[in-house]
A = this chain, B = another copy of it.
Amino acid sequence: MSNTKVLPLLDPAGQAAAPCCPPLTERPFSAQEAETAARMFKALGDPVRLRLFSLVASYEGGEACVCDISDVGVSQPTVSHHLKKLKDAGLLTSERRGTWVYYRVEPSVVAAMGRLLALRPAA
C-alpha cells in the first residue's frame, strides 16, 4: 500500500497543503514549527541515510528497491532500518510490490525543506 499521505511538513490533521514553516530567515520559528522541521533535518543528519536518500532520489525513474541497494557499506537490514527512518520523517514513500519494498522521494517535502533554506536578498 502506498503511504504518500504521510507528510509531516504538512498540517498534522492533513488539512492544509501548505508546508509547516516559513523560510528560516523570515522570522523566529515557534517551538512547534522547530519540532516539525527539525525532524526532517535530523533524518538527513546521518551520513548513511543521506547516501541512501541520494541513491533513491537519483535512481532511474526516481524509485529504488531495497534489492537495488548494495554499496553503501552497511548490511541490508541496516539499509531497511534507515529507509524506514527516512519514510517516518516523510522524506520517502514506500510501496510493496511482490517480495520487495520500493522507495520513492516525496518531492513536496523535499521542496518544503529547500524553501526553509531560502535566503532573504541582501538588504
Contact = CB atoms under 8 A, between A and B. Distances in A.
Interface in A42-80: 42-51, 53-55, 57-58, 61-62, 73
Contacts of A48: 34
Contact of A50 (B38, B46, B50, B105): B38
A73 B29 CA distance: 13
A123 interface: yes
A48 to B, nearest CB: 7
Given A41-B45, A45-B42, A107-B119, A50 B62 contact: no
Contacts of A111: 117, 119
Interface string A26-40: 111111001101110
A98 interface: no
A48 B31 CA distance: 8
Given A27-B58, A34-B50, 9 more contacts: A25-B54, A28-B51, A28-B54, A38-B45, A42-B46, A110-B117, A110-B119, A114-B114, A117-B117
